[in-house]
Amino acid sequence: MRRGLVGLGMVLVSSLALADRPDSVAPGVTVDFAAGKLLAVASCAADLYPPSADVARLKAERVARSRAEDKLRKALPLLVRDHKDKLGRFGGAEAVAKLDPKTAAIERIDYGATGGVVLWLALPLARTKERVHSGGAAETSTPDAGAAPPEEP
């Protein structure tokens, strides 16, 4: 009897842990419904002959972001098709399908010693003026405090 209860407890704990795990939508793209974001990972190797690793990182970061945006763009229709029932709290499937991957924020970047980049791009499922930060926390976007005021002609 005791073994049966221990086994049942293990099944419940493992099923609860699986419920909060992000679901794979497409290769390199996962959806985290608890955090309300679609996350794509992309990478780019450094240029073979850059003047420095810093210069190589700039190009690699642009290319990796472009690749991650493409993955998000391709994953959105799959997300709407396969997870339509879970998208109600984010404005519905139609609202999620209209999201623009260009509004995604960089969640994490790993830089290689030679200038290569691995980039994680997070797209919030709810259409808000919030940016997604690491750990799934969202923070309202504010203008840069150090930005100069616009020049008058």
Structural domains present in the chain: 23-135 (3.30.70)
The pLDDT of residue 38 = 95
Are 119 and 109 in contact, with CB atoms under 8 Å apart?
yes
Surface-to-core class of residue 153, CB atoms within 10 Å of its CB (0-12 exposed, 13-18 middle, 19+ buried): exposed
Please list the pLDDT of the chain residue by residue as tens digits (153 residues).
555 544 545 444 444 444 567 888 899 999 999 999 999 999 999 888 888 888 888 999 999 999 999 999 999 999 999 888 888 888 888 999 999 999 999 999 999 888 899 999 999 998 654 444 444 444 444 343 444 444 554
